Amino acid sequence: MSFALYMDDAALGHRTPEGHPERAARYAAAKARLDEPDFAGLPRREPPRATRAQLERAHPKAYVNALLSAERPDGMVMLDADTVIGPGSTEAALRAAGSGVAAVDGIVDGGLARAFAVVRPPGHHAEAAKAMGFCVFNNVAVAARHAQAAHGFQRVAILDFDVHHGNGTQAIFWDDDSVLFASSHQMPLYPGTGAVHETGAGNIWNGPLAPGDGGPAFRRVWEKRLLPAVDAFKPDLILVSAGFDAHVRDPLAQIEAEAADFGWLTDRIVELANAHSDGRVVALLEGGYDLRGLSESIAAHVAALTVGL
């Protein structure tokens, strides 16, 4: 069993307005770090485009049709105040969603134990029929539905440590107790969801953090609240919405975690995967808007994902 990175330079083609935090430089910084000697030997796989059928497991057909016809060759289309479709965005979004699908296939019949998909645009804010928060398709939801429909997984856990609450993922799986959603995030902060009392069908576990909380609080909410819920759920597959904007350097939030905190959590996730899901973990990049913080955090995350492989 081994590990693979899923990456495609189509991510660079998703252009956003000048000064937008979700920019092509994020992918370039991640790729540059993973090209350094300590990671350069990791296998890379080029993801396919997600198919309409795969997208429609998480999004209504009308929404998929609208998004796939939104791109204009001569300009940008704003889907909401900060989510944009421009020339090249459709290809990037299809490859981003396809990365999760391919990574799930890879751990089922491609000889992989774990995988990390370096994608943009991110996905966890996208609701079933609404693009928002830089997100077009909900990449992790598409991957989860594929795991269930194509491979028969019965209990899928989605762990989200992006500093912004994954409202879209929560909404998609709100009343589906075959999928557990566990999230740490800053409150108050965009998008305004993620309170402890939001529990869905008993499958939603939120762990809010206060502005100014650092690594100890980040670790505590996972160790005392979220990871025990995942352990009790006994997932047969773990998916991760790996956002690194809880890093102390990030400009969009006020959580003061360090790269080592993401490495610590990834170690714990792997332990749970080893206990319940034959070691299977698929992580997909979400946020992280300071390039140095993003690079350092991805390095810690990937190092932990590859231990023992």
Distance CA 44, CA 117 (A): 10
pLDDT tens-place string over residues 269-301: 999 999 999 999 999 999 999 999 999 999 999
21-35, 69-83, 92-106, range with the lowest pLDDT: 69-83
Does the active-site annotation cover 14? no
Q: Which two tokens stand for residue 232?
A: 């009790």
Pick the closest to residue 89 from 167, 23, 45, 5 (CA basis): 23
> With 70 as the cut, is the pLDDT of residue 1 above it?
no
Q: Which two tokens stand for residue 309?
A: 């492989």
Can you name the residues that pair with 179 across neighbouring β-strands?
Answer: 156
Report strand pairing: 77-78 vs 84-85. Answer: antiparallel
Can you spell out the DSSP letters for 66-124? Answer: HHHT--BTTB-EESSSS-EE-TTHHHHHHHHHHHHHHHHHHHHHSSEEEEEEE-SS--T
- pLDDT band at residue 73 using 50, 70 and 90 as cut-offs: confident
Q: Is 262 left (phi over 0), alpha (psi -120 to 50) or beta?
A: alpha
Report strand pairing: 112-118 vs 2-7. Answer: parallel
Largest Cα–Cα separation, the chain: 51
Is 219 in a helix, a strand, or coil? helix
pLDDT tens-place string over residues 191-206: 999 999 999 999 999 9
Angle at 241 between CA 6 and CA 168, to 5 degrees: 120
Pick the closest to residue 102 from 124, 125, 119 (CA basis): 119
User: Exposed, middle or buried, 238 (CB in 10 Å: 0-12/13-18/19+)?
Assistant: buried
Which listed residue (124, 125, 146, 301) is catalytic? 125
- Note whether 169 and 242 are within 8 A (CB): no
Q: What average pLDDT does the segment 32-49 reach?
A: 97
What is the structure's pLDDT at 283?
A: 99
pLDDT tens-place string over residues 96-147: 999 999 999 999 999 999 999 999 999 999 999 999 999 999 999 999 999 9
User: Exposed, middle or buried, 28 (CB in 10 Å: 0-12/13-18/19+)?
Assistant: middle
Q: Which two tokens stand for residue 125?
A: 């804010």
Q: Look up the CATH superfamily of 2-305.
A: Histone deacetylase domain (3.40.800.20)
Domain ranges of the chain: 2-305
